[in-house]
Chains A and B, each alone.
Chain A
C-alpha cells in the first residue's frame, strides 16, 4: 500500500521539531522543565510518562495550543504545520466522516469536497479501515471504538502535517488492535516523511513502533529509567487443585427466551498458592469467567468445585474464602459509606466468628496489608486517588482472610510504578499466605509475568492453555501469538479487525486469522495436547509453524 493521494510523499529534510530548554509553568509550578529534543522528518519518537507527568501539556504547547495561564520559556521550533491528535478520538459524534474530512481539508489544504473525499478514503485505507468509501458516509456515533480511532488518526494525517503529535492514541483499545494501529501510523510517517511523536502511559504501547523512546517524569524529559523491579511469579507451587472447573459454561438469559452464551466448555485447575491468568481481548469471556467463579454470573453448564465442594451448592461461608477484585475499584465502593464502614459490614456478614471488638484490629490489618494507613478507614471513596482506591479494594478483599482472590483487571486503573507496586504487593501476599490467584487481563505481558499458568480465551472458549513461561516464548495459536506480540509492542500477526464475541460455529478468530481455511468456519477446533501440559485449539497447518 502506498501513500497514494496523501501529502508529504517527498521526504522533508532536516529537523522538523527542535526544542532547546523548553519550559511550561504557571509561575508556581513547572509542568515541563527544560525539555530538549530533536525530531527529524520520518522519525518516530515515543514519550512515555505516568498520568499527570505533563505529556498532554507538552503536546499542546508544541501544537501551539498552550492552555491559558501557562507560560512558555525556552526555544521551540516546528518547521511546517503541526497537528495534534488528542487523547480520545474527539470526532463530532453526529457529523458524517466525509463532512469532517471536507471541513478540515478545505481549511488546511484548500481542497474541494471531491478531492477531500479522495484523500480521506486514501487515509482511511492507510489506517486499515475496511471499505473507506462506505465509512465516509457514516457518523462516528455509528462506529466502534477501534474504527473511531482509525478515522481520527486518518483525519489527523490527511490534513498533511509535517509533525503529527498523537496523545495516547488508541489507549483504551485492546492491545492487539492498538499495536496494529500504531504500527500503521508509524509506517505511514516513515514513508511520508512526517515526524511522529507518540505520547502515552508506559502501558499504552506507544514505545512499540518507535525509533526512540524518551520518558517524561515530573516535567523532566530524559531517557527512560531502567525498568523498575517488576513483579514476577514465584516458584510454581505444586499440589492438588483447590479450585477446579470442568466444562464450565456461562449463559445469560436475554429475556425473550434466548440466551447469550459468554463462556463455553472451559476446564482448569488452580493449586494452593498458584496464579492462573485468563488472557484475551474484550468480549473473549475472561471477565465473565472471573465473575462466574465469584458467583456473580450464572453458570449454565459444567461444574466448579472449591476444596472439593460444589460452588453452586455452597453457602455463604464460601464467600469469605473467595473474594473478587473489581476492575474499577472506586466504583465498587459505596460512595456514601467510609472505607472502614464497608469493611465492617463485610466482616459482620462473612466473619460472624470475629467478635465486634476485634473488628477494628482486623480492618486495620487488612488496610496495612493493602499498603494503606489505618486512617483510610475513616475516608469516603470519593476522596481516594486511583491508587488508594485500588488498595482499598484489595483491603476489602483481604479483610475476610480469603484463600482465593479473583482479579478482573485489578490494576487496570493504575499506571507505571503504581501499577507495578500494586502487582508486587499482590504477589507478596500470595507468597506469604499461600493465597491462590485468578487474574483476568487483556495485557498478556503482565499476565504471563505474574502467573504460573495461563488460559487464552477467544469468543468464550479456551484456544490455548499452557504454563506462563511456555506461552511467553512459544505460544502456538495465532491469537495467543498476537496477544504476546502486542504486549511486546510488536505488530500482531492478525489481520485488521476487532475483538469479537462468541460465534455460533467455527474458530472465533477466523475473521482475522491469516491462516484461516475452510474447516475453520465449520467447526470449533478441539483442544489438543501438543506438548505435555500445552493445549492448543487450531485447525492450522502445524500449530507452531503458522
Chain B
C-alpha cells in the first residue's frame, strides 16, 4: 500500500484499459471507496468506468497530477483558472461538460468544483432564460398556471 508505483486498472467506456498510479486515484473518491474494500486484491482488479471515455480519463489524470497530493484548499476561482491552465483545449469545446460528468461520477471534488464553476460562468453569460435552456438542452416545462408567475 505504501508503494507509490502501484497501478490501478481502469477500463473506460471505449474499452481501453488504463493503468493509473494509485496516488492519483486517491483523489477520486469513487475509486478510493472501491479500493478500500478488502476484497479487491492488488493487481487483478479492473474497475470499469462506463461513462468516462479515454479522452476524459486523460484529462482527469492530468488534473490530478496538477492538483497534487496535498489537500490544499483552493477557492473555486483558483480552481477554475487551474483548469484552463492545465487543460487548455477544454476552452472552446463542449468537453467541459463531459469532464464535469466524469468528475461527478468519479467524485473528484476539486475537478467538480472547477468544472461547475466554469459552467456557472457560462450560464451567467447567457442573456435570457431561453438561452440558458438552450445551452443545456433543458425544456422549460413550467406552466403558466403554476404557483406563481415570474417575479423579479
Q: Do A and B bind each other?
A: no
